[in-house]
Amino acid sequence: MNFREYFESLRTGDYQIDNFKDFVKHTGFKYTVPSIHVAGTNGKGSTSNYLASIYKEFGLKVGLFTSPFLWKENEMISINGDFISDEEFEKLIKENEKNIKKYDLSAFEVQTLICFQYFMNQKCDIAIIECGMGGEYDATNIFTAILSVITSIEIEHTSQLGRSISEIAYHKAGIINKRVPVVCGDLNDEAMGVINEVALSLDSKVIKKVDPTLPTLTKDGFKFSYLTFKDVQIQSKAFYSVIDACIALEVITALRKEYPVSDEQVLNGLKNVYMDCRMDFIAENPLILVDGAHNPEGINKLKMSLEGIDFGTGIRVVFACFKDKNMQSMLGTLGEVVDEITLTTFDNPRARQLEDYFLFADDYKYMDNPLDVVQYYKENYPNDVILITGSLAFAAYMKNLLKGNK
């Protein structure tokens, strides 16, 4: 089965779970694996991967559901780091084919259903479930979590989630369950006010991440301490990954009575995580860096990470993003720390093409082929850093082309 073509044939684009809830109600479907539910504008994927790695180190059979995928749909669904096989994926789709059509389930609803069934069939001990978008009406929001996580809240998906921080926060807060704790990352006062209000109404404890102690960038990634955890080491050279790891540590601490993970297991779990396309150094001479920052908050976090590294040379950017992203804000923030930005496109129906860049034509160079941009920088600025960013899909696409390893 061609999974890409299959999912593209299903309903996409709306933000409601009425059809999925009808399916759940009339079929009696119930998801029963103890699960942590993760929402947020940025940081969901890294936080989820850190949690999955720690609980695997603890000896549990851990399901992980994340989106979007980088290269293949199977990446969304994994157990202890192993992706669901093509055969199992196809088998579960075919088993549900009648109901998929009857209830007109969307692509993400089908992916969520397959994930939930797979984790139950495989008898996972625990699972980390990442929201696709928002929270309240997300397809994943059909179970009671053992703990909820909201990593960050910024303006995004305004046509579905609203145009203010408070509106978006209410959607994210939709994953908070009655008398179930919620761990929050660095939220501004407006977002935090909404989370506190919703949590209070549900008698749910709010746990806030605090600042790490002495975060230090080493050749092997960041080292820091947090709460009682000393000398924490992560592979990432991005400061935003430190924040994501701290959120994961708050979750581990909150659930330690039920899952008594040792400090050694926590440290090993964090150290074992490698995140593709997040401050990902893929080549030297020249240094090529790919990062999947795809919205203003992500670009701002990328900027902070770049400022924390003394490259000793210039930074040249290869930039492509989706049509629905706030490109003006993203480019403005990048422009504060880089020397040149060249706009481009890539093979994705959502990617901006030349005509979508017309407002920026006077300020930025445009080249159709991103590989030509990389070659241009290599020839003209052989000692400078080449940064590829603007979209997680674009980062993965370029890493694939430049590394040839997927």
Query: Each residue of 360-402: pLDDT tens digit?
Result: 988 999 999 999 999 999 999 999 999 999 999 999 999 999 9
pLDDT band of residue 159 (cuts 50, 70, 90) is: low
Is 50 exceeded by the pLDDT of residue 359?
yes
Asked if 102 and 15 count as a contact pair (C-beta separation under 8 A), the reply is no
pLDDT band of residue 97 (cuts 50, 70, 90) is: very high
Q: pTM score > 0.95 for this model? A: no
Looking at the chain, the whole-number percentage of residues with pLDDT higher than 70 is 98
Mean pLDDT of 72-77: 96
Distance of CA 27 to the CA centre of its chain: 31
